[in-house]
Amino acid sequence: MSKLRMPYQCIEKAGKFLVAARGSSIDLFSLDDLSLLSTWKFPHAQGLSTKGGTQSTTKNHSINMLETPALDTEPPHTSPAAKRRKLSDESSTQAVEAGERKSMTKPNSRSDSVASGLEDPAFITLASTRGGQHVIAVTGEDKTIRVPMPKRPCAITITQDNSTIIAADKFGDVYSLPLLFSELEVDQTPGSIATPRTESSSKPFTPAANELTVHSQRNRRALENQKAQSNKASEKPELTFEHRLLLGHVSMLTDVAAVDIQGRGYIISADRDEHIRVSRGIPQSHIIEGFCLGHTEFISRLCIPQGKPNLLISGGGDNELFVWDWLTCRLLSKTDLQSLIADVLLEYKAKNDGSYPKDEIKVTVSNIVHAKHADWNDGADMLLVTSEGVPALFTFLLTPDNILKHIQTVKLPGNALALTTYALTPEGSIIVSVDSIHKPGSITDCRSEAEATEPLRLYMFRGNELNNKSIFKPTNAYDEKQSVKLTNLLYNLENLRKRDGEAKEFE
Amino acid sequence: MHNNLASQTELQSPSVLYLLNLAIMVGPANKRQKREEYRTAHREEAAPELPKKKFYRQRAHANPFSDHQLTYPISPETMDWSPYYPAFVLNVAPGGTQTLSKDVEVADIGCGFGGLLVALAPKLPDTLLLGMEIRSQVTEYVQERIKALRAQNADAHLYQNAACLRANTMKFLPNFFRKYQLLKIFLCFPDPHFKARKHKARIVSATLNSEYAYVVRPGGIIYTITDVEDLHNWMVQHFDSHPSFQRVPEDEQEADECVSVMRTETEEGKKVERNKGKKFVALFRRLEDPEW
Ligand SMILES: C[S@@+](CC[C@H](N)C(=O)[O-])C[C@H]1O[C@@H](n2cnc3c(N)ncnc32)[C@H](O)[C@@H]1O
């Protein structure tokens, strides 16, 4: 077993806790003393999956809801074993129990290209409610379904009234589901633009057209195909929870945001084909208000600064970060990120490959996080940005004329993976998860044990400047020779870039 | 004779083999080359004949989900329409970007070989019509067809208001048109995609209808026609259940001159006619967006 600690692919602050996902486990840390409170493991061994024997070939997607410990309870002073039970028994029982009740399997033959390759389904994204009571954790693949999703959600957000989860999937659809899944019913009510399923399996199959109504040769061929295919049983069981289709792109969705402004709700969705779409909020999400168009590569991250809800910062495969007035779909400014990244990476690349052409270095924005605190820099808005495979954190000041001004390149001991802010009065802190398995600047080369580093770090603002403060008390989780597979889990955004002649099917 | 040949073959066997191989290689390429030569020649002709369809055929289905190597404007504001509608270019100051005296207001989505465009253009002389087609060679055919028609009708100044470009409208419609820019969209004989698994490739869906609503202004019309009853029902169901659209009553539908053009002038419409098939028509009006 290697001495390298497992890195966290996503982290999320929830009240006084930090929720951090490594592979298929979730660690809960106290933000008071940075101690590990407990670990929640994917309930794989708890009878939810077909244990032993043949592995089921089903691959499912689920949303898991964890309840964080009550905010007013003291952190438990018990043994690690008891602590672990605390999270798995009290905190997530609801979700797991609910899961067992609602458990169902859904076959999905599509091979998942972003599958982690790890044995258990890995968490791919986390979101917390505004008060921090609940954390939503989404797995990339799964063998049983707790809260079944028709397609793998690739981005989720929670509406500002804390009532609804908005989930975007890689097939381009955006769905809503209630945050607390109480009544499970198929919903086809107003607000949903989904039409009832027509392909009921109970009815005998009748082809949609017959030879008399099909006239062109190709239509006739299609009909023959259809007949040949038709006698299989319907593959998809009905969904059994309230779940509405809100809107959709014919493209892979990469991020979604829900914003309230001037008393109205909006949904902003971004895709691989360079579109940022602004739609009305529920229940009028079928109305598109506009598109923020200007990116020339995939978009991967959207950020709406708190307190400035009319602004949107977007980034992805383009060399620049974009600042928008999204209500009017106006581009306000663009700021170069590529040369900042190149400056960092050239240091590492030069070490290994000698000279390296600077413009070949690609930007793949993996985080854009807004940080603001009344006591830093007179309450200025800071944006913290990371790019896949780059061991640095870039900080920008959002100026009053809506320009991003580069302030600092904070070198990290490993590639930046995830980050979140945490306000500790009077200073603001940033928690960064770094890749503790791969060498800084590389997404494939593993560290030697001498190069081991801790996966979670805390940085603090002093004025505009970020300083390394401390590290989290680590888990006992070590990499178990899965680092190659981990690459897919930790670095999957660059795959969004279009390659010449590529014919990538969504199916 | 036989002997003779045998000895010849023996003697020249290396070169004979070489020739045979060449023949195999040249066979199919020849046809392709002929088509390419024809198309190049047609492109370069100043006042060409109408193009021949057989040199522009392409396999029927292009996958609307794949990347292709499409070119599309970053946004409607960056689209240069001047090569498509040269007769409508405003003369602007040198160095300034060229603009048109009007915007495109009618789109024929999946226009195929352009029958509808060519029939509608003289009927709507003051409106710019755009055919959008995902198959590149079919697009080129329509472009050559329009070029020839413009040349043949130069005196009457016809067909200047019709153009065609290659686009995957399922992905990139908002790159070409601003909000509320269009007056009419035609969806004529769309690919039926019979299998349920393929339904998401249909050009009409709950989510795509929101994009049509975005580019069409309130009062504008979506025209649909198909020979596949199931697809007709699908389109009616999806537009009817979309809050931005309302079906146009039949009397109004039949009074619309575009409807008869759509029935008789599209290539698919003609094919169905020849086979004495049924055609199902439905029109939908874009409603005002509600207050909120
Ligand atoms: C059956 S043909 C109908 C052609 C023509 N409208 C007619 O009625 O004769 C459908 C056409 O739609 C085109 N098409 C399919 N999907 C498309 C898309 N996403 N964008 C643009 N064109 C598309 C196909 O290439 C094909 O030429």
pLDDT, position B240: 96
d(CA B25, CA B28): 7
Q: Please report where in the chains the tokens 């003051």 appear, as a residue.
A: B126
pLDDT single digits (tens) B86-108: 999 987 766 666 789 999 999 99
Give the closest residue (by CA) to ligand 1 atom 14.
Answer: B110
Residue A403: the pLDDT is 97
Q: Is the dihedral of CA B262, B266, B269, B274 positive or negative?
A: positive
CA distance linking residue A252 with residue B7, whole number of Å = 66
pLDDT tens digits, residue range B108-131? 999 999 999 999 999 999 999 999
Bridge-partner residues for A303, per DSSP?
A313
Interface with B, mutate which of A250, A273, A278, A329 (most B CBs under 10 A): A250
How many CA within 13 A on the CB side of residue A467?
Answer: 6
Q: What pTM did the predictor assign?
A: 0.81
User: Which residues, other chains included, contact A403 with Cβ-Cβ below 8 Å and sequence gap of 6+?
Assistant: A323, A332, A333, A335
pLDDT number for residue A64? 64
Name which of A171, A245, A294 is nearest B74 (Cβ-Cβ). A294
At residue B140, φ and ψ (nearest 5 deg) are -65, -35
Phi, psi dihedral angles at A125 (to 5 degrees) = -160, 150
Atom in ligand 1 nearest the alpha carbon of residue B267: 9
Residue A257 β-bridge partners: A268
Higher local confidence (pLDDT), A169 or B133: B133
Distance CA A120, CA A44 (A): 7
In sequence order, the β-bridge partners of residue A253 are A271
Domains and CATH numbers, chain A: 10-69+113-187+241-492 (2.130.10.10)
Give per-residue pLDDT as tens, B203-259.
999 999 999 999 999 999 999 999 999 999 999 999 999 999 999 999 999 999 999
> Is this prediction's ipTM beyond 0.90?
no
The full DSSP string for A190-209 is TT--PPPP---SSSPP--SS
User: H or E element: which one contains B213?
Assistant: helix B206-215
Residue type, A172: G
User: Using an 8 Å Cβ cutoff, are A323 and A276 in contact?
Assistant: no
* Per-residue pLDDT tens over the stretch B183-194: 999 999 999 999
User: Of B108, B155, B191, B230, which residue is the catalytic one?
Assistant: B191
Residue B191 a catalytic site member? yes
Query: What amino acid occupies position A47?
Result: G
- Flag if B207 and A294 touch (Cβ within 8 Å): no
Q: Is the pLDDT assigned to residue B24 strictly greater than 50?
A: no
**3-class secondary structure, A26:** strand
Distances in whole angstroms, Cα of residue A93 to Cα of each of A98, A134, A472: 8, 13, 26
Start-to-end CA distance of chain B, whole Å, equals 93
List the beta strands (DSSP E) in A310-455.
311-316, 320-325, 330-336, 365-371, 381-387, 392-398, 404-411, 416-424, 427-434
Ligand 1 centroid to Cα of residue A184, in Å, is: 41
Chain position carrying tokens 């020779």: A481
- Do B216 and B285 meet the contact criterion of CB atoms below 8 Å apart? no
- Half-sphere exposure of A401 toward its Cβ, with a 13 Å CA cutoff? 3
d(CA B162, CA B106): 10
CA dihedral (B7, B13, B16, B22) in degrees, to 10, reads 160
**Contact between chains at B63 and A212 (C-beta distance less than 8 A):** no
> Which ligand 1 atom is at minimum distance from the Cα of B268?
9
Residue B145 burial (C-beta neighbours within 10 Å; 0-12, 13-18, 19+): buried
d(CA B146, CA B118): 7
Reading the block at residue A466, the tokens are 């970020």
C-beta separation of A11 from A19 below 8 A: yes
Question: Any residues with Cβ below 6 Å from ligand 1, and which?
Answer: B 62, 64, 110-112, 115, 132-135, 138, 167-170, 188-191, 203, 266-269
CA–CA gap between residue A306 and residue A257 (Å, rounded): 12
Q: Is the dihedral of CA A274, A280, A286, A289 positive or negative?
A: negative
In the prediction, which pLDDT does A151 show?
Answer: 61
Contact B66 A229 (CB under 8 A): no
What average pLDDT does the structure give for chain B? 87
Cα(A355) to centroid(ligand 1), Å: 49
Per-residue pLDDT at A69: 56
Tokens of A441: 């600047």
In the sheet that holds A60-67, the strands lie side by side as A60-67, A134-142, A123-128
Alpha-carbon distance of A353 to A346, in angstroms, equals 10
Cross-chain Cβ contact B230/A226 below 8 Å:
no
Burial bucket for residue A29 (CB in 10 Å: 0-12, 13-18, 19+): buried
Chain B residues with beta carbon closer than 8 angstroms to that of A191: none
Contacts of A502 in chain B (CB under 8 A): 66-67
Cα–Cα dist A292/A316, whole Å: 14
DSSP string, A293-325: E--SS-EEEEE--TT-TTEEEEEESSSEEEEEE
Residue A11 · residue A21 · CB < 8 Å: yes
Which are the contacts of A126, defined by CB distance < 8 A and separation ≥ 6? Answer: A10, A11, A12, A19, A21, A135, A136, A137, A138
b/e map B204-241, b = 16+ CB within 10 Å: bbbbbbbbbbbbbeeebbbbbbbbbebbbebbbebbeb
Chain A: give the shortest CA distance to residue B18, in Å: 33
- Which candidate, A435, A416, A446, A432, places its Cα nearest to that of A2? A446
Cis preceding linkage at A426, omega within 30: yes
Per-residue pLDDT of chain A in tens (507 residues, 90 and over written 9):
467 888 999 998 888 888 898 888 888 888 888 888 888 776 653 333 333 322 222 344 555 666 655 433 333 333 333 233 233 322 222 232 222 222 222 233 233 333 344 566 778 888 877 777 777 777 765 433 345 455 667 788 888 888 888 989 888 999 998 876 543 333 434 455 544 333 333 333 333 433 333 344 444 554 455 444 443 333 434 444 567 899 999 999 999 999 999 999 999 999 999 999 999 999 999 999 999 999 999 999 999 998 999 999 999 999 999 999 999 999 999 999 999 999 999 888 766 666 668 888 999 999 999 988 666 666 789 999 999 999 999 999 999 999 999 999 999 999 999 999 876 555 678 899 999 999 999 999 989 989 999 999 989 887 778 887 777 777 777 766 566 678 888 898 988 898 764 443 332
Inter-chain CB proximity B67 and A504 less than 8 Å: yes
DSSP-assigned states of every residue in A253-301: EEEEEEEEETTEEEEEEEETTSEEEEEE-TT-TT-EEEEEE--SS-EEE
Between CA A272 and CA A258 the distance in angstroms is: 19
A180-183 long-range Cβ contacts below 8 angstroms, 24+ apart: A181/A65, A181/A98, A181/A102, A181/A147, A181/A241, A181/A242, A183/A242
| Closest alpha carbon to A87 in A145, A137, A127 | A137
Q: Is B109 annotated as a binding residue?
A: no
